[in-house]
Amino acid sequence: MVYGEAVQVAKAKYPKSVTKTIKYGTAGFRTKADELDFIMYRMGLLATLRARDTKAVIGVMITASHNPEPDNGVKLIDPMGEMLAPAWEAHATTLANATDDGIAEAMATIAKEAGGIKEDEKALVFVGRDTRPSSDRLRDAVVAGVKAAGGEVKDFGVVSTPILHFVVTCHNDGGQYGEPTEEGYYKKIAQAFAKLRVSGASRGSYEPTILFDGANGVGAIMMERFIPYLGDSIKSTMYNKGEGVLNHLCGADYVKVQQKWPEGVPQAQNSRCVSVDGDADRVIYSFIDKNGKYSMLDGDKIATLVAGYFQELLKASGLTLKLGLVQTAYANGASTAYITEKLGVPVACAKTGVKHLHHVALQFDIGVYFEANGHGTVIFSKNAREAIRNAAQANESAQKLSQVMDVINETVGDAISDMLLVETVLHARGWSIEDWNSAYADLPNRQMKVTVADRAVITTTDAERVCVTPAGLQDTINSIVANYPNGRSFVRPSGTEDIVRVYAEASTQEGADNLAIAVGNAVY
Ligand code: NG1
Ligand code: ZN
């Protein structure tokens, strides 16, 4: 029987242990690690089919990002580093929900729907994992899946999500984007970064010193390996290197959501603290000023800093390329006002989830996209890339643009590459973190989670800023918001948790808190 071995191995080693229906969502599959073995196995099967379908290497990343340590998850990476194509997200859901005996039929149906995938064609799958204790075991399950479907595996071991995206892309484009190895990633980025500061690492109020909060995860390991390549161009002191619990009271998600300094990092005044999340694809900055006041600089601050710098370089180089910024509804209103009114850079709003932002960013020659939580990157159209590289021969600003392009990991949001991008802009401007922070002041805001019987009853439109159902909810939200100066609030069902998220901002923290509570009550 076709795919018979896939069924046999499933029954013998990876039987289905969960009966409830599960869905491949924005974060792939993510849940308690104990419930994931059969899903990992099946994603190994699916990655093999997808590799045959695309005639390219497919990536499988085992991580639950910023979630607590007992969780885990899996995401597939398409050939050019993109998130899995929507039709294949549906296939992933089908295969994950099939019975053990139904696996062969599900695989055959997927193969047929994809236009006839031959079961004996070669397939290569790149696998990476984060530092969770369960990730090693779950890697074995993915490998078993690939092998049962007749494919081959290259295991990158413990690696960040963005490095896996990078190597998949580099392998599939024949090495044009870079060398498809972890070392190739460090080399490409470090070389470009060093060129941007040949005149010395200190400049004006900028000092090349950072405190690095590794969230006790893979980001710390990647950064430690990266440091030798970076030489003196940046001095990073490492904290939360794995001595504590992953993502616990530290890391990008904790710092952003709790708006607190990470534990385990000394509270040095006027020092930049860089926090990454559990798979190193998000980054958040924070600092304590000379008066002891704490400030957090999120994805919006990064996006506006970067977009402003690109605008300046474009102007100086004389290149007429369309620059734009993509945010989500969670972007602080003050950041949107700053970038549109002060800098005059167009801003587009996308639904939550980087694949949506990425898609919208494609409409620009240079698309800067960031979620407020620090996940994002910059992408360049083919036209922009060529124009910049050509102009770089004779023009200093274009040359800088070209080097900045090589610091960026375009394949996906990348905490370490984004950090080096921020450091590049701060260095170019001679800015301290305080200078950067003073560009605009965030509107006070609050995020809340509300548990409801069925979150699917809430549907939204206009990039999730307006509720369509239940009937009347949006009118109620509007009438509540009207009571708060500078008030803005929206609700949407989470794509990764069984909750509804409420976001509110207002001119005071008390106002934002009360607005979130009032809107939360209207949802409940
Ligand atoms: P959900 O749970 O759909 O809000 C969260 C984040 C997203 C994205 C995904 C994937 C917020 C408000 N939401 O999505 O931005 O990062 O997880 O990990 O931060
Ligand atoms: Zn992450």
Domain boundaries, given as residue ranges, for the chain: 4-158, 192-297, 299-414, 445-523
Reported confidence tier of residue 200, pLDDT bands at 50, 70, 90: confident
Query: Are 386 and 401 within 8 A, CB to CB?
Result: no
Residue 498, pLDDT > 90, answer: no
Beta carbons of 233 and 268 less than 8 angstroms apart: no
Q: Pairing between strand 209-213 and 124-129? A: unpaired
Identify any residues that bridge with 491 across adjacent strands, giving them in sequence order.
502
Pocket test for ligand 1, best of 276, 354, 489, 494 (most atoms within 8 A of CB): 494
Q: What is the reported pLDDT for 514?
A: 98
Annotated ligand binding at 442? The verdict is no
Average pLDDT over residues 180-203: 95
Average the pLDDT over 449-474 and give the result. Answer: 96
The pocket of ion ligand 2, defined by CB under 5 A, consists of 65, 277, 279, 281
Q: Which of 378, 420, 398 minimizes the C-alpha distance to 193?
A: 420
pLDDT above 80 for 2: no
Query: Does 335 qualify as catalytic in the annotation?
Result: no
CB atoms within 10 A of CB 65: 28
**From the candidate CATH numbers 1.10.8, 3.30.2420, 1.10.3470, 3.40.120, the one assigned to the domain spanning 192-297:** 3.40.120
CA end-to-end distance (rounded Å), the chain: 51
Question: Which residues is 380 bridged to in the sheet?
Answer: 366
276 beta partners: 283
Q: Say what the pLDDT of residue 330 is.
A: 97
Q: What is the reported pLDDT for 524?
A: 81
Which residue is associated with the tokens 């580093």?
A: 81
Of the candidate CATH numbers 1.10.10.10, 1.20.140.10, 3.40.120.10, 3.40.449.10, the domain formed by 299-414 belongs to: 3.40.120.10
Q: Does the structure show a pLDDT above 90 at 7? A: yes
pLDDT in tens, 112-136: 999 999 988 999 999 999 999 999 9
> Would you place residue 308 in the very low, low, confident or very high pLDDT band (cuts 50, 70, 90)?
very high
SS3 15: coil
CA of 277 to the centre of ligand 2 (A): 5
DSSP string covering 110-164, please?
HHHHTT---TTS--EEEEEE-S-TTHHHHHHHHHHHHHHTT-EEEEEEE--HHHH
pLDDT number for residue 323: 98
What is the number of the ligand 1 atom nearest to the C-alpha of 499? 2
Q: Please tell me the distance between residue 279's alpha carbon and the centre of ligand 2 in angstroms.
A: 5
How far apart, in whole angstroms, are the C-alpha atoms of residue 265 and residue 273? 8
The helix (H) or strand (E) run that includes residue 483 is none
Pairwise CA distance, residues 319 & 331, whole Å: 29
Q: What's the CA gap between 403 and 165, in Å, rounded?
A: 21
25 lines ligand 1 (CB under 6 A): no
Number of H helices, E strands in the chain: 18, 19
pLDDT band at 40 (very low <50, low <70, confident <90, very high): very high
Cα(516) to ligand 1 centroid in Å equals 18
* Mean pLDDT of all residues in 490-519: 95
Instruction: Considering every ligand atom shown, identify the ligand nearest to the alpha carbon of residue 28 and give its number.
Output: 1
The reported pLDDT for the residue numbered 496 is 83
**Is a pLDDT exceeding 60 seen at residue 1?**
no
The proportion of the chain whose per-residue pLDDT surpasses 70, expressed as a percent, equals 100
Instruction: State the pLDDT at residue 480.
Output: 98
- For the entire predicted model, the pTM comes to 0.96
| Residue-wise pLDDT tens digits, 406-444 | 999 999 999 999 999 999 999 999 999 999 999 999 999
Tokens representing 270 are 């006027």
CA of 401 to the centre of ligand 2 (A): 27
Q: Cβ(262)–Cβ(238) under 8 Å?
A: no
Q: Binding residue per annotation — 507? A: no
* Other C-beta atoms lying within 10 Å of the C-beta of residue 452: 15
Nearest CA to ligand 1 atom 4: 494
What number does the ligand 1 atom closest to the CA of 501 have? 4
CATH assignment, 445-523: 3.30.310.50
pLDDT of residue 497: 84
CA distance linking residue 453 with residue 17, whole number of Å: 25
Residue recorded with tokens 């809340």: 448
Phi, psi of 420 (to 5 degrees): -65, -30
Place of tokens 């993502």: 247
pLDDT of residue 220: 98
* Closest CA to ligand 1's atom 11: 373
CA distances from 96 to 65, 124, 409, 419 (A): 21, 21, 31, 36
Question: How far apart are alpha carbons 21 and 218 in whole angstroms?
Answer: 31
Does residue 445 line the site of ligand 1, with CB under 6 A?
A: no
| Nearest atom, ligand 1, residue 30 CA | 18
SS3 assignment for 158-227: ECCHHHHHHHHHHHHCCCCCCCCCHHHHHHHHHHHHHHCCCCCCCECCECCEEEEECCCCHHHHHHHHHH
Q: Which CATH architecture has domain 4-158?
A: 3-Layer(aba) Sandwich (3.40)
Mutation test of ligand 1: which of 276, 281, 352 has the most ligand atoms closer than 8 Å to its C-beta? 352
Smallest CA-to-CA distance from 370 within 353, 392, 346 is with: 353
Helix (H, G, I), strand (E, B) or coil at 449: strand
Q: Which atom of ligand 1 is nearest to the CA of 373?
A: 19
440, 298 contact by CB (below 8 A): no
Domain pair 4-158 / 445-523, same fold: no
Query: What is the structure's pLDDT at 26?
Result: 86
Which residue CA neighbors atom 9 of ligand 1 most closely?
A: 353
Distance from CA of residue 415 to its chain's centroid? 8
Ligand 2 centroid to residue 253 C-alpha, Å? 9
Assess whether the C-beta atom of 353 lies below 6 angstroms from ligand 1: yes
Model confidence pLDDT, tens digit, residues 368-398: 999 999 999 999 999 999 999 999 999 999 9
Residue 502: pLDDT over 80: yes
Does residue 371's CB lie within 6 angstroms of at least one atom of ligand 1?
A: yes
Ligand 1 and 330: CB distance under 6 A: yes
Does residue 496 line the site of ligand 1, with CB under 6 A? Answer: yes
Whole-number average pLDDT of the chain: 96
The interface predicted TM-score of the complex, written ipTM, equals: 0.98
Tell me which of 65, 134, 236, 402 is the catalytic residue. 65
Distance from residue 220's CA to the centre of ligand 1 (Å): 22
Q: Work out the percent of the chain whose per-residue pLDDT is above 90.
A: 96
Whole-number Å distance between alpha carbons of 488 and 473: 15
Structure tokens at 287: 């600092």
Q: Is 27 in the pocket of ligand 1 (CB under 6 A)?
A: yes
- For residue 66, the ligand 1 atom closest to its alpha carbon is 18
